[in-house]
Structure 1
Amino acid sequence: MSATISPLAPKKYPKMPVIEGVRIATAEAGIKYRNRTDLLAMVFDPGTAVAGVFTKSKCPSAPVDYCRQNLSAGKARVLVVNSGTAKAFTGKKGRASTALTGEAAAKAAGCSESEVFLASTGVIGEPLDTNKFSHLLAGLVKDGKPDLWTEAAKAIMTTDTYPKVASQTVKLGDADVTINGIAKGAGMIAPDMATMLSFIATDAPIAAPVLQDLLSRGTAKTFNAVTVDSDTSTSDTLLFFATGKAGSRGAPKISDPKDARLGAFRR
């Protein structure tokens, strides 16, 4: 991470409201650097739906393959992200490390491994010893807090010089729902998604297939519409989580991507 902050850094960061059903924790695991957070756990209440879009590289990282495998179930309980090492081009060692991380995360969250989602960013070609951070996961899950969105964005930075966060409140039916997002990415931005790790969460009660439709359509006009140096990352990961908690405030459950009530949410 460069010591010089980009001139594109915002002068003021948005207030990141709490998303009911999401808890966040970060840690300094010392994966590559000292004295900086490099491990993120995002914990979701039962019933959380998930959608995802990933790199089109023919050589995806082990965490990308892991997420693709789990995405079909459409349910999420925990997200674990490490920065410093990407677990890409690491062969059997990378797959084994990713599997062990998934097992440790599932145990910490008390959920099925199919409800675990993983992402890694950093140097490619270097295996990651899961023992560096797996022992921290139980504490992160236990100690997670709902208001640590900016801290989460900092934990996934590599060459980024500032955290990237955004939030929007929109109407779904007659109820307000919130959408929060974090991202990292500074180089290798092309031809699709931009060496991005991005994680979005909402309290809207939207079914996983609808969430996937919204995400896939939105990605085509956003993440896949930017280029910097014409390289494709092996680790691009965009995940969208919907806890559904706004349903208790009157937000309608959406199970059809053509539902007219998605108008404001879609924009």
Structure 2
Amino acid sequence: MKTFLFICLLPAVFADPQTTFLSRIVNGQDAEPNEFPWQVSLQYRSDTTQEYSHICGAVVLDANRILTAAHCVEHDPTISNYEIVVGGHSLTEQNGNEQRRKLSDLKIHASYSNSGGYNNDIAVLILSSSLTLITDIVERATLPLSAQTFTGKNCYISGWGRTVANGPLPDILQKAATSVITHSDCRTRLGFTGILYLSAQAHICIYSGSNSACNGDSGGPLVCDVSTTNTENWQLAGVTSWGLTDCPVGSPSVYVRISSYIDWISMQ
């Protein structure tokens, strides 16, 4: 079975014969405006004559830093070719809450590998000017404790990735309810691909049987509710990394396990 990374460049990027990037949520539904206030659209232009367009998701760390997948930015280190948009809901229509920012730096994990299981598929983007954080519109994601596993928790994925393999990007931010599964279950469901490429430390898997991340969702958030009372406590469990070709809903999607990178994130 082939796998893919959830990125959305034109033409599509295939980093090796076994894995490809994911870009859109399959069998999701429209999110409510500002339902995921930490959601970011990472946008790219290949030269200065072009407009920026969505290539990946990303997540607000704080007013000056954005988290995404390393594979979203490894193809071009030119920071002027990227910008981010927060507060958005539609890729084509403005709602008045959008904030656009350029980058001043991008930091890819030094041990990132773009082959096999895409270990350490994580990057921090430094903004050229600070975001204005606004409750319920633009908020930082809550990072997890290093020991948090999220198995069995109520979780959501969100993004502007494709809703069917090789289809167009959706205009409206999509969401889907999902569950984190154990490392052993994920390996079994991925079969030979899981045995070869899955890392218990680097990866966290989701599976619902009815939806999937896809191309264009790369770098976007997996958030889980870890509350023990009636007050929701959403934490960032992962950012989208890879999955099987054609985004089958009967297979897990693989995310970067954020709890393994807390120290690295704090140093960027």
TM-score, normalised relative to structure 2:
0.29
Q: Of Structure 1 and Structure 2, which has the larger fraction of its residues in strand?
A: 2
TM-score, normalised relative to structure 1:
0.29
Bigger radius of gyration, 1 or 2?
1
